């Protein structure tokens, strides 16, 4: 018999919003009292449940991070101790560090002034996943598995993880905002075991992601409804059809290539997004992940560098992953473009890095607004990390099928990619798990042992067509950086695309 | 020793903070007695029997120097507790938390077991199950802790940062540097069983330098469990010199080159190759049947081991869940080129496969040879010297084929001499093949990685520092495949 006791009964919020606000104010007061001319603080109470099976995991995380400026010198203190004494110690520690830095360091750029903001925001949702019982979470997952049970050789991969967090951002300037966010980290992929189980050939281990499922800001309703099961089934049927094609090796050389939305997003998220982070452009990550090919800004901003068909930007609205009303510096978020018709028009910056951009451009005023500073967990400093980036579809553009029909002799790449970029994002390589050869507009065979090597600017300059809105699909990318060093995820929503004369190489190596 | 009991639920672990601020160089992380007391206190909050608890306490100090003059310093202190329980009708869950206030911990423990039925305590005959307590076997104590690193964590109180910043400021290049220091302890506390304890330190200094025109770059790094063994001034000097030597780099055509790989470059390849020694992985050594154990897979001069007692490297001699990892004290993966054994990600995976549990490697030590880098260059008619590789990752697990780029130091060799610096190249190469075309090996040393994104093939922690120690020699190999040029500097 299924238990009806909600996940929230096992995992209640540990602290209320008022307690978090009190801790935030206490930290600010402690920092100012200790001598800081500026302080801002992020306090978070987060619970996470990963279920959908007979096993699960629950994670409770609390944190407080205090950034201070003392005579212009910046320091950061953090604690996981959720008491006034704990946050006071973190604030005082940060002030002491800032003072000590004066002996060995020049002060960083001054922080960009921003409007004082106050308020509270809760992500809208229909069904709070923490009001659902663990048994019902598992029941949904089991139902999805059952959908695929009828397909021989299919391996079902997927699940849901729910994150619910109350985060308070406050500053000595008077900002005090509270946000309650519920996010869904989901992914479903019917995978084909193929001949791997029979011949030991791992190149036949692939799947097709169900595009409706990706990371989002949503409630439990995202998992329900017959439409979801229809999508799961449709994906399985499509994969079955794709598997019926004969299999062969790709011919090396330059070919026109169509990427579906997931593949396009994967390449965009791995190559261009990191290069637009000011922390990389200005050299903060020089001794870590690297710098950026899109530097110096005076040679880049406003110049057309990529195909005029390429337009994308940050989208913090619902229901995207990372949707928020304010960023982690308490600045109101807005959607803004990064690349418009092939020209770089903005970078991703924070209050701390945007002055560096102004200095680089020899401008006294800011060219880019803040509002894109985030940190995956508050015990690290916020840096420029978008929750979701959206690439613009071509309203009058082709469907995915029509894009394929445009190929006389080309390749279509589907779904999840293994994408790698260099230390400046100037070049990369991707290996699709599902690729097909197209002759005269029709898929003729499935390709194995294929990889694509590219120079990033050249690749995005060769963008010849962008699909319409029906081709938009989500993908998840990861970025590393920050202080202390950490990783964060973001999603990219992108349409299908057609690239011309892409460098196809053989992946086939016998050991 | 800390005294805690259920009646002390309002206490916090603030004593830790007070201790290290009151005494410069004091220990940041819990002692064994403190960790045991905390674990037993938390287990005491439980209304139902629990099989056990895992505790990890890690403090990392990071100093980041950017644009020659700007220093940032942060200390990241993370205490985490994990334990298994059941919720709902029969949902087995792993519960984790970083909270360090005992009142909050009590709240976590009490709520997590609302309506829960107790998990059976393990017996000696139990079927392996991930939520059960580890069945600890004896293991040799290891010495991975160095007081010198702990003492250095008050990094701003000494001269270290100033001494590192000075040459960067005096340089005409754009310099950045990182100092990393870590102390970490792990405790597995099975109820009614033997506690498993490990403590370690690690440290690293890296410097990168770029010419103002952005056309040349250099890098250097040193890593050691004992920070006092690192020479930051030397690291700065080497990075700046490398950047100066890279001025005027010319393009060379991609293709197959005799290649001399410095220790940092070999380390990146070996680190990414770790997955190949996982019996459950898709790598070239595990694929089968037939098994490749007993067959030659690498050059006969290569022996690859994981030895927890390795004074320069080493690792905890137990799995992540506390099960003893190396029954014979250490693991030899490849002996004189012959594959000897494979490891497992968890002891239960091994037991389910009917194998004795041996932990798949995180730390690795590759044997070396007598040839210095200078001698390798002198022996090379035409080839490349690669100082460092970046973004190394597995593209095709079946063949262990990897991609990545040269970074911060790449030179063309002609007739036994460095001829000219060259712009960076992308490679596509399986080290499982390259390590069969070895021409010469040098003296092994610990590879430095700094803060670089992890490889999919690396089995170590994701996106966090430090890497487990990788000790490798410089290596000269034939026909290393560079597949394309890159504009990245």
Cα distance from A91 to chain B (closest Cα, Å)? 12
Residue of A60, A98, A196 best to disrupt the B interface, most CBs of B under 10 A: A60
pLDDT of residue B124: 39
List chain A residues with CB under 8 Å of B403. 420, 429
pLDDT band per the 50, 70, 90 thresholds, residue A194: low
Q: Does B483 touch chain A (CB under 8 A)?
A: yes
Q: Does A205 touch chain B (CB under 8 A)?
A: yes
Is A342 in a helix, a strand, or coil?
A: coil
Q: Are residues A239 and A270 in the same domain?
A: no
Residue ranges per structural domain of chain B: 6-211, 249-485
**A 213-272: CB under 8 A from B:** none
pLDDT of residue A364: 63
Q: Are B104 and A62 in contact (CB under 8 A)?
A: yes
Length of chain B: 489
**Pairwise CB contact (< 8 Å): B177 & A287:** yes
Q: Are B38 and B4 in contact (CB under 8 A)?
A: yes
Q: Are B344 and B358 in contact (CB under 8 A)?
A: yes
Cα distance from B173 to chain A (closest Cα, Å)? 13
Q: Does B303 touch chain A (CB under 8 A)?
A: no
Least CB–CB distance from B91: residue in A55, A380, A455: A55
> In this predicted model, what pLDDT tens digit does every residue of A271-295 receive, in sequence order?
999 999 999 999 999 999 999 999 9
Q: Are residues A226 and A258 in the same domain?
A: no
What are the distances in angstroms from CA B148 to CA B21, B179, B182, B230, B363?
Answer: 17, 14, 11, 11, 21
Least CB–CB distance from B90: residue in A15, A54, A290: A54
Rounded distance between C-alpha atoms, residue B307 and residue B314, angstroms:
6
- Candidate CATH numbers 3.30.2290, 3.40.1350, 3.40.630, 1.10.10; the one for domain B6-211: 3.30.2290
Q: Does B155 touch chain A (CB under 8 A)?
A: no
Cα of A195 vs its chain's centroid, Å: 33
Q: Are residues A335 and A414 in the same domain?
A: yes
Cα of A454 vs its chain's centroid, Å: 22
Least CB–CB distance from B287: residue in A12, A200, A286: A200
User: What average pLDDT does range A295-309 have in this prediction?
Assistant: 94
**B 318-357: CB under 8 A from A:** none
Least CB–CB distance from A485: residue in B70, B432, B465: B465
Q: Are residues A236 and A258 in the same domain?
A: no
Rounded distance between C-alpha atoms, residue B178 and residue B208, angstroms:
9
* φ, ψ for residue A151, nearest 5 deg: -100, 115
pTM of the prediction? Answer: 0.94
Residue of A288, A305, A352 best to disrupt the B interface, most CBs of B under 10 A: A288
Q: Among candidates B93, B44, B50, B79, which has minimal Cα distance to B187?
A: B79
**Pairwise CB contact (< 8 Å): A89 & B450:** no
DSSP H/E element including B400? none
**Pairwise CB contact (< 8 Å): A82 & B99:** yes
**Which of A243, A261, A291 is the C-terminal boundary of a domain?**
A243
Cα of A336 vs its chain's centroid, Å: 16
Cα distance from A392 to chain B (closest Cα, Å)? 28
List chain B residues with CB under 8 Å of A205. 282
Domain-located, residue A2: no
Rounded distance between C-alpha atoms, residue A270 and residue A274, angstroms:
7
List chain A residues with CB under 8 Å of B92. 54-56
The two tokens of residue B412 are 């063309």
Q: Taking the CA of residue A458 as centre, how many other CA atoms within 13 Å lie in the half-sphere pointing to its CB? A: 14
List chain B residues with CB under 8 Å of A83. 12, 14, 101
Is B203 in a helix, a strand, or coil?
A: strand
Is residue A508 packed enough to be buried (19+ CB in 10 Å), middle (13-18) or exposed (0-12)? middle
Low-confidence ranges of chain B (pLDDT < 70): 1-22, 113-137, 287-290, 455-463
**Pairwise CB contact (< 8 Å): A89 & B76:** no
Q: Are residues A195 and A222 in the same domain?
A: yes
Q: Among candidates B244, B360, B101, B117, which has minimal Cα distance to A60?
A: B101
**Angle of helix B232-245 versus helix B160-170 axis, rounded to 10:** 20
Domains in chain A: how many in total?
A: 2
Rounded distance between C-alpha atoms, residue A282 and residue B67, angstroms:
9
Handedness of CA A302, A306, A309, A313 (dihedral sign): negative
**Which of A207, A222, A243 is the C-terminal boundary of a domain?**
A243
Q: What residues make up the domain containing A456?
A: 247-506
Residue of A452, A485, A508 best to disrupt the B interface, most CBs of B under 10 A: A485
Which CATH number characterizes residue A76's domain? 3.30.2290.10
User: What average pLDDT does range A404-415 have in this prediction?
Assistant: 95
Cα distance from B325 to chain A (closest Cα, Å)? 25
- The contacts of residue A195 (CB under 8 Å, 6+ apart) are A201, A204
Q: Taking the CA of residue B232 as centre, how many other CA atoms within 13 Å lie in the half-sphere pointing to its CB? A: 25
Q: Does B46 touch chain A (CB under 8 A)?
A: no
Q: Are residues A259 and A216 in the same domain?
A: no
Q: Does B388 touch chain A (CB under 8 A)?
A: no
How many other CB atoms are there within 10 angstroms of residue B89's CB atom?
Answer: 18
Residue of B12, B65, B91 best to disrupt the A interface, most CBs of A under 10 A: B91
List chain A residues with CB under 8 Å of B113. 10
> In this predicted model, what pLDDT tens digit does every residue of A32-80 receive, in sequence order?
999 999 999 999 999 999 877 777 888 999 999 999 999 999 999 999 9
Rounded distance between C-alpha atoms, residue A416 and residue A404, angstroms:
18
**Pairwise CB contact (< 8 Å): A14 & B176:** no
Radius of gyration of chain A, Cα coordinates, nearest whole angstrom = 24
Q: Does A58 touch chain B (CB under 8 A)?
A: yes
Q: Does A70 touch chain B (CB under 8 A)?
A: no
**Angle of helix A226-243 versus helix A134-149 axis, rounded to 10:** 30
User: What average pLDDT does range A101-106 have in this prediction?
Assistant: 92
Q: Are residues A128 and A91 in the same domain?
A: yes
Q: Are residues A197 and A311 in the same domain?
A: no
User: What's the longest Cα–Cα distance across chain B?
Assistant: 77
Q: Are residues A22 and A66 in the same domain?
A: yes
**Which of A224, A243, A262 is the C-terminal boundary of a domain?**
A243
Domain-located, residue A511: no
Q: Among candidates A41, A104, A110, A40, which has minimal Cα distance to A71?
A: A110
Rounded distance between C-alpha atoms, residue A280 and residue A353, angstroms:
10
Instruction: Characterize the bridge pairing of strands A486-494 and A388-391.
Output: parallel
**Pairwise CB contact (< 8 Å): A138 & B390:** no
**Pairwise CB contact (< 8 Å): B282 & A202:** yes
Q: Are residues A160 and A290 in the same domain?
A: no
**Pairwise CB contact (< 8 Å): B405 & A3:** no
Residue of B453, B457, B458 best to disrupt the A interface, most CBs of A under 10 A: B453
Q: Are residues A208 and A252 in the same domain?
A: no
pLDDT of residue B6: 37
The two tokens of residue A323 are 């949707």
Nearest-Cα residue of chain A relative to residue B239: A287
Rounded distance between C-alpha atoms, residue B363 and residue B157, angstroms:
32
């Amino acid at each position: 018999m299924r238990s009806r006791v909600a996940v929230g009964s096992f995992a209640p919020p540990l602290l209320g919003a008022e307690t978090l606000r009190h801790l935030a104010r206490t930290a600010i007061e402690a920092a100012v009292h200790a001598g800081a001319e500026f302080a801002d603080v992020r306090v978070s109470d987060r619970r996470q449940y990963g279920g959908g099976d007979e096993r699960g995991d629950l994670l409770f995380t609390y944190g407080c991070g205090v950034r201070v400026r003392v005579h212009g010198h910046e320091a950061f203190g953090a604690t996981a101790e959720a008491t006034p004494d704990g946050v006071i110690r973190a604030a005082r520690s940060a002030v002491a560090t800032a003072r000590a830095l004066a002996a060995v360091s020049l002060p960083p750029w001054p922080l960009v002034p921003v409007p004082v903001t106050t308020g509270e925001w809760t992500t809208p949702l229909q069904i709070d996943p923490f009001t659902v019982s663990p048994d019902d979470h598992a029941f949904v997952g089991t139902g999805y598995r059952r959908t695929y049970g009828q397909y021989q050789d299919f391996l079902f991969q997927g699940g849901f993880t729910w994150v619910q967090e109350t985060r308070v951002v406050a500053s000595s300037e008077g900002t005090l905002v509270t946000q309650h966010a519920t996010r869904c980290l989901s992914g479903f992929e019917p995978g084909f075991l193929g001949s791997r189980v029979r011949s030991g050939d791992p190149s036949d281990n692939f799947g097709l992601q169900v595009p409706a499922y990706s990371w989002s800001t949503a409630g439990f309703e995202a998992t329900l409804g017959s439409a979801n099961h229809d999508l799961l089934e449709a994906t399985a049927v499509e994969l079955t059809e794709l598997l019926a094609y004969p299999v062969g090796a790709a011919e090396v050389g330059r070919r026109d290539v169509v990427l579906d939305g997931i593949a396009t997003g994967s390449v965009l998220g791995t190559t261009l997004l990191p290069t637009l982070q000011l922390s990389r452009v200005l050299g903060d990550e020089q001794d870590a992940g690297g710098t950026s090919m899109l530097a110096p800004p005076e040679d880049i901003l406003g110049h057309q560098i990529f195909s005029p068909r390429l337009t994308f930007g940050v989208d913090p609205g619902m229901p995207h992953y990372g949707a928020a009303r304010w960023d982690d510096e308490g600045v109101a978020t807005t959607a803004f473009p990064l690349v418009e018709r092939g020209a770089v028009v903005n970078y991703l910056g924070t209050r701390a890095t945007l002055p560096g951009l102004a200095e680089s451009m020899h401008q006294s005023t800011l060219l880019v607004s803040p509002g894109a500073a985030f940190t995956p967990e508050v015990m690290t400093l916020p840096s420029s990390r978008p929750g979701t980036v959206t690439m613009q579809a071509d309203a009058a553009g082709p469907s995915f099928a029509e894009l394929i029909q445009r190929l006389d002799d080309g390749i279509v790449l589907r779904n999840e990619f293994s994408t790698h970029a260099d230390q400046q994002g100037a070049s990369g390589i991707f290996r699709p798990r599902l690729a097909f050869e197209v002759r005269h507009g029709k898929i003729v065979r499935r390709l194995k042992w294929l990889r694509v090597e590219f120079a990033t600017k050249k690749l995005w300059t060769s963008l010849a067509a962008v699909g319409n809105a029906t081709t938009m699909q989500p993908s998840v990318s990861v970025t590393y950086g920050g202080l202390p060093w950490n990783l964060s995820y973001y999603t990219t929503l992108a349409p299908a695309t057609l690239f011309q004369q892409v460098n196809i190489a053989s992946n086939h190596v016998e050991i | 020793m800390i005294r805690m009991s259920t009646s002390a639920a309002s206490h916090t672990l603030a004593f830790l903070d007070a201790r290290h601020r009151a005494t410069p160089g004091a220990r940041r992380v819990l002692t064994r007695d403190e960790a045991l007391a905390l674990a037993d206190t938390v287990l005491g909050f439980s209304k139902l029997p629990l099989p056990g608890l895992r505790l990890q306490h890690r403090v990392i100090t990071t100093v980041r120097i950017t644009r020659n003059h700007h220093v940032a310093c942060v200390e990241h202190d993370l205490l985490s507790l994990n334990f298994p329980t059941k919720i709902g009708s029969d949902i087995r869950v792993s519960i984790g938390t970083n909270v360090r206030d005992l009142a909050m911990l009590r709240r976590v423990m009490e709520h997590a077991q609302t309506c829960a039925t107790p998990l059976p305590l393990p017996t000696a005959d139990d079927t392996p199950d991930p939520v059960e307590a580890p069945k600890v076997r004896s293991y040799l104590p290891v010495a991975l802790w160095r007081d010198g690193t702990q003492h250095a964590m008050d990094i701003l109180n000494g001269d270290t940062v100033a001494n590192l910043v000075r040459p960067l400021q005096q340089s005409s290049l754009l310099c950045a540097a990182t100092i990393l220091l870590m102390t970490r302890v792990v405790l597995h506390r099975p109820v009614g069983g033997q506690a498993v304890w490990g403590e370690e330190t690690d440290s690293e200094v890296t410097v990168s330098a770029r010419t103002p025109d952005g056309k040349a770059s250099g890098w250097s790094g040193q890593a050691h469990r004992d920070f006092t063994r690192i020479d930051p001034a030397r690291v700065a000097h080497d990075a700046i010199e490398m950047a100066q030597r890279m001025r005027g780099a010319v393009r060379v055509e991609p293709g197959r080159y005799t290649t001399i790989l410095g220790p940092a470059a070999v380390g990146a390849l070996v680190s990414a190759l770790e997955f190949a020694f996982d019996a459950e992985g898709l790598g070239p050594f595990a694929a089968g049947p037939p098994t490749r154990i007993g067959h030659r897979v690498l050059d006969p001069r290569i022996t690859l081991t994981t030895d927890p007692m390795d004074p320069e490297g080493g690792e905890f001699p137990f799995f992540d869940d506390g099960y003893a990892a190396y029954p014979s004290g250490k693991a030899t993966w490849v002996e004189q080129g012959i594959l000897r054994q494979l490891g497992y990600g968890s002891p239960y995976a091994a037991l389910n496969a009917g194998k004795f549990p041996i932990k798949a490697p995180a730390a690795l030590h590759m044997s070396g040879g007598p040839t210095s880098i200078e001698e390798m260059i002198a022996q090379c008619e035409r080839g490349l010297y690669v100082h460092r590789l970046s973004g190394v990752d597995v593209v095709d697990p079946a063949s262990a084929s990897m991609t990545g780029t040269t970074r911060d130091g790449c030179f063309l060799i002609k007739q036994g001499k460095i001829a000219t610096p060259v712009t960076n190249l992308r490679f596509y190469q399986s080290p499982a093949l390259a390590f069969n075309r070895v021409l010469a090996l040098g003296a092994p040393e610990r590879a430095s990685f700094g803060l670089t994104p992890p490889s999919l093939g690396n089995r170590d922690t994701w996106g966090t520092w430090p890497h487990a120690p990788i000790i490798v020699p410089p290596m000269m190999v034939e026909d290393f495949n560079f597949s394309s040029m890159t504009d990245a500097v």
